[in-house]
Every structure is written in structure tokens, then in C-alpha cells.
């Protein structure tokens, strides 16, 4: 048969002490003393120093579209190190598709990669947009040496099948 007598606390156990607000915050955050910036396991986080690589020779890919010009700097393996477009340079709407916007975009892109020590570039131009030549002039104006200018505009050869002759 079950014991129906009420259980009373042992006389030697003391009542719980009220926690202060700071103790509650420390308990809820799970902070470990002396390990500021520690993760959940208590191990301290290690801050790694960012290593800026030096890229004396780079490749510049210019995409000259009808509505925008995009200038991208990459290293010789193809990893992007910086870039800019006419829209990022502050031009909006129809002003993005002007040669002046392409020149400004190329100059800003060259400014952004100055920290990598870029001195000479190989330029690859793709597209038939209005900013084609002016973006190259913008790179020259930024003080870069141009090793080569390559046109990589895709040109169709063959193309799709022609439609049949119209029958009336």
C-alpha cells in the first residue's frame, strides 16, 4: 500500500538564496570566466591575420554590354581580386550605358585592387557595348601597364537552322 503521509523537507537543507541580476545573466549566457570570446565549448577563438597576397600581374575581364559595363580583376588562375561596374560607380538608368560610365568604372576597379600591388594587366574584352574602348582608356589612366588586349566576344559560326520558306 502507498504511503499517503506528506513529505517535509529535511531540516538540515537551507532555503535557496535569491540570485542577483548579474548572476542570472552570467548563468544564462554560459560565460566561462577568463575566456572572453570563447565559443560554446569554452575554447578561446583564434583571430587569424588576413593575408593579402601580392599579384603583380593580373587579368582584367571587361564585359561591355548594351546597358552596363562590368570590369573584373582576377589573378592568373582566375580568382577574383576586385572589380566594379558602371552601376556600382554611381550611374543609374540610361547613364550606365555611356562610355564615360565605363571609364569611371574601370578607374574605380583599378583603385580597389591597388592593395594587391597590380602593375601590369592582360585585358580581355567581351561584348559590343558603348564602353568597350573607354574602359581600356580608364585602365591606362589609372597607371596600369597593358600587356595585351584580347577580344573574347562570342561570334556565332553556323548558328541555328534557318526557317523554312514561306508558303502562301
Assign 112 a pLDDT band (cuts: 50, 70, 90).
very high
Give the pLDDT of residue 40.
67
The whole-number pLDDT of residue 118 equals 94
Model confidence at 47, pLDDT cuts 50, 70, 90, reads: confident
State phi, psi for 110 to the nearest 5 degrees. -65, -35
Q: Say what the pTM is.
A: 0.66
| Mean pLDDT, range 59-71, rounded to an integer | 97
Per-residue pLDDT at 48: 76
At 67 the pLDDT is 96
Q: What are the DSSP E strand ranges found in the chain?
A: 57-64, 69-74, 80-85, 120-126, 145-151
| pLDDT score recorded for residue 17 | 60
| Neighbour-count burial for 74-86, b at 16+ CB within 10 Å, e otherwise | bbeeeeebbbbbb
Task: Indicate whether 13 pLDDT > 90.
Answer: no
Question: Would the pLDDT of 94 be above 60?
Answer: yes
Contact 135, 105 (CB under 8 A): yes
Query: Which comes out higher in pLDDT, residue 146 or 51?
Result: 146
Q: Please state, in angstroms and as integers, the Cα–Cα distance from residue 137 to each residue in 26, 110, 145, 155, 166, following that order.
A: 60, 12, 11, 24, 48
Cα–Cα distance for residue pair 155/146, rounded to 1 Å: 24
For the domain covering 61-151, report its CATH number: 3.30.420.80
Q: What is the pLDDT of residue 124?
A: 97
Domain locations in the chain as residue ranges: 61-151
Q: Report pLDDT for 52.
A: 73
- Three-class SS state of 115: helix
Q: What is the pLDDT of residue 125?
A: 98
pLDDT at 30: 56
Distance CA 99, CA 129 (A): 9
Average pLDDT over residues 17-42: 61
User: In the predicted model, what is the mean pLDDT of residues 142-158?
Assistant: 94
Grid coordinates given for 42: 569554452
| DSSP single-letter state for residue 42 | S
Amino acid at each position: 500500500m502507498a504511503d499517503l503521509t506528506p513529505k517535509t523537507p529535511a531540516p538540515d537543507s537551507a532555503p535557496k538564496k535569491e540570485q542577483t541580476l548579474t548572476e542570472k545573466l552570467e548563468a544564462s549566457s554560459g560565460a566561462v570566466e577568463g575566456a572572453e570570446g570563447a565559443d560554446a565549448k569554452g575554447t578561446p577563438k583564434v583571430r587569424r591575420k588576413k593575408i593579402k597576397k601580392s599579384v603583380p600581374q593580373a587579368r582584367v575581364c571587361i564585359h561591355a554590354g548594351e546597358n552596363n559595363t562590368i570590369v573584373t580583376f582576377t589573378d592568373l588562375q582566375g580568382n577574383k581580386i576586385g572589380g566594379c561596374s558602371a552601376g556600382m560607380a554611381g550611374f543609374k538608368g540610361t547613364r550606365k550605358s555611356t562610355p564615360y560610365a565605363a571609364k569611371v568604372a574601370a578607374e574605380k576597379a583599378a583603385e580597389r585592387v591597388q592593395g594587391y600591388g597590380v602593375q601590369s594587366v592582360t585585358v580581355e574584352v567581351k561584348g559590343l557595348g558603348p564602353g568597350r574602348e573607354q574602359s581600356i582608356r580608364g585602365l591606362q589612366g589609372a597607371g596600369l601597364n597593358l600587356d595585351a588586349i584580347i577580344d573574347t566576344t562570342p561570334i556565332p559560326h553556323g548558328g541555328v537552322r534557318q526557317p523554312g520558306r514561306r508558303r502562301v
